[in-house]
C-alpha cells in the first residue's frame, strides 16, 4: 500500500501532462487553421500544402533527433507509407478547401466525425465488436453531421473567405469536403492500426511530408498556371488559381504553419505516449470551442441554434465512442 501510492501519483501526473500536451497541440493546430483561412484568398490550396510541408521538414527532423535518432526512420513496409501518405494528402487538401468556404467551427466539427468513421470501419476491417449503445452513439453522431450540414449545404457558397458575394444558390461543397477529410483520416487510422504496427512513430510523421511535397508538386504542374480558374469555376478558385510567390508577410505565415505542424504533431504524439488514450482522447474536442471563438473574433462567424445542437451531438457521440474504444 505504501509503495503503490507513489506509482499512482506518477500515473496521475503523467495523465495531467498528457492532457496539457494534447490541449496545447489542439490549440496550436487551431492557429494553423486561422492562418490558412486568412491566406486562402491569395494562394491555391496545393501551394499552401507544398510550402507548409517544405517548412515542416527541418522541425520534424529535429523532433526525430530528439526522439532517438535517424535510425527511427527505417521503413519496414514501403507500400504502407505510400498509401498512408496519399490518404493524408487527400485529408489535408479536403480540410483546407473546406476551411476556405465554410465557417471554421463547422469545418473542425465535421472533421471530428472521424472517430465515428474509425469505429464503423474497425468492425469491417479489424473485426472489432460494437454493442447497441455504441451503435446508438454512432447514429447520434451522424445525425449531428446532417444537422450541421443541413442549413447551409445548398445555400450560397462563399465567394472568398470573408464575404457572401455570390447571389445565386449553388451547392456548397465545403461541408462535404469537411466530412471527406474526416473519412480519409479514419481510413488512414485503420490502415495504420492494421499495417503500421512495426513502423516507428517518427517515420509515421516524417514520410507523409514527402508525399505532400510530391503530390502538391504534381498538382502544380497540371493546374498551377491558373488556366482552369475561370468565371465558370469561381467556386473552385482556391483549388484552381495560379501559384504566386508569397510576399514577406505571407512567407512568414507559411513558415509558421510548417513549424506549427511539426510542433503540434509532437505535442499530440507525446500526449498519447504519456497517458492512456481513454484519458486524453476526449480532450481533442477542446479545439471545437476554440475555433468557434476564432471564427467569431476574426470573421464574425456564429453557429446558428440548429447547428449548435448538431455540434453538441457530434461532440457527445465522439467522446462516448473514444472512451468506449479506449
> What secondary structure does DSSP assign to 185-232, as a single string?
HHHHHHHHHHH-TTS-HHHHHHHHHHHHHHHHHHHHHHHTT-TT--GG
Q: How many CA atoms lie within 13 A of 195 on its CB side?
A: 16
CA 177 to chain centre: 12
pLDDT above 60 (res 174): yes
Look up the pTM and report it.
Answer: 0.87
- Phi then psi for 178, rounded to 5 degrees? -65, -40
Give the pLDDT confidence score for residue 28 in this predicted structure.
94
pLDDT category of residue 250 using cuts at 50, 70 and 90 = very high
For the chain, give the mean pLDDT.
Answer: 86
| pLDDT of 291 strictly over 90 | yes
Choice among 24-38, 42-56, 72-86, 231-245 with the minimum mean pLDDT:
231-245
Residue 211 has pLDDT above 70, yes or no: yes
Chain centre distance of CA 70: 26
CA dist 215 and 90 (Å) reads 10
How many C-beta neighbours within 10 Å does residue 198 have? 11
Tell me what pLDDT residue 152 has.
56
Give, in order, the Cα–Cα distances in Å from 170 to each of 31, 200, 279: 30, 45, 43
Q: How far apart are CA 239 and CA 119, in angstroms?
A: 31
Taking the CA atoms of residue 289, residue 293, residue 294 and residue 295 in that order, the dihedral angle to the nearest 10 degrees is 100
Indicate if the pLDDT at residue 13 is higher than 60. Answer: yes
pLDDT of residue 86: 95
Amino acid at each position: 500500500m505504501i509503495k503503490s501510492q507513489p506509482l499512482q501519483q506518477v500515473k496521475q501526473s503523467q495523465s495531467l501532462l498528457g492532457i496539457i500536451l494534447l490541449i496545447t497541440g489542439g490549440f496550436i493546430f487551431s492557429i494553423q487553421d486561422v492562418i490558412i483561412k486568412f491566406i486562402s484568398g491569395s494562394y491555391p490550396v496545393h501551394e499552401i500544402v507544398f510550402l507548409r510541408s517544405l517548412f515542416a521538414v527541418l522541425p520534424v527532423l529535429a523532433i526525430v533527433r530528439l526522439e532517438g535518432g535517424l535510425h527511427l526512420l527505417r521503413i519496414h513496409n514501403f507500400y504502407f507509407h505510400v498509401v498512408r501518405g496519399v490518404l493524408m494528402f487527400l485529408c489535408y487538401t479536403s480540410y483546407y478547401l473546406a476551411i476556405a468556404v465554410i465557417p471554421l467551427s463547422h469545418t473542425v466539427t465535421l472533421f471530428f466525425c472521424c472517430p465515428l468513421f474509425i469505429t464503423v470501419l474497425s468492425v469491417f476491417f479489424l473485426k472489432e465488436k460494437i454493442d447497441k449503445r455504441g451503435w446508438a452513439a454512432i447514429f447520434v453522431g451522424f445525425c449531428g453531421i446532417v444537422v450541421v450540414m443541413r442549413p447551409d449545404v445548398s445555400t450560397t457558397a462563399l465567394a472568398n473567405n470573408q464575404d457572401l458575394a455570390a447571389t445565386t444558390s449553388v451547392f456548397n461543397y465545403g461541408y462535404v469536403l469537411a466530412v471527406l477529410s474526416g473519412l480519409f483520416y479514419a481510413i488512414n487510422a485503420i490502415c495504420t492500426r492494421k499495417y503500421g504496427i512495426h513502423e516507428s512513430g517518427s517515420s509515421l510523421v516524417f514520410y507523409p511530408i514527402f508525399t505532400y511535397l510530391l503530390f502538391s508538386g504534381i498538382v502544380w504542374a497540371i493546374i498551377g498556371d491558373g488556366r482552369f480558374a475561370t468565371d465558370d469555376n469561381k467556386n473552385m478558385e482556391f483549388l484552381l488559381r495560379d501559384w504566386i510567390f508569397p510576399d514577406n508577410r505571407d512567407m512568414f505565415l507559411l513558415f509558421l504553419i510548417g513549424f506549427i505542424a511539426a510542433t503540434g504533431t509532437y505535442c499530440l504524439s507525446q500526449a498519447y505516449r504519456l497517458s492512456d488514450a481513454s484519458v486524453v482522447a476526449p480532450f481533442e474536442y477542446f479545439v471545437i470551442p476554440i475555433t468557434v471563438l476564432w471564427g467569431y473574433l476574426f470573421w464574425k462567424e456564429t453557429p446558428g441554434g440548429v447547428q449548435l445542437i448538431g455540434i453538441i451531438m457530434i461532440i457527445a457521440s465522439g467522446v462516448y465512442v473514444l472512451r468506449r474504444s479506449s
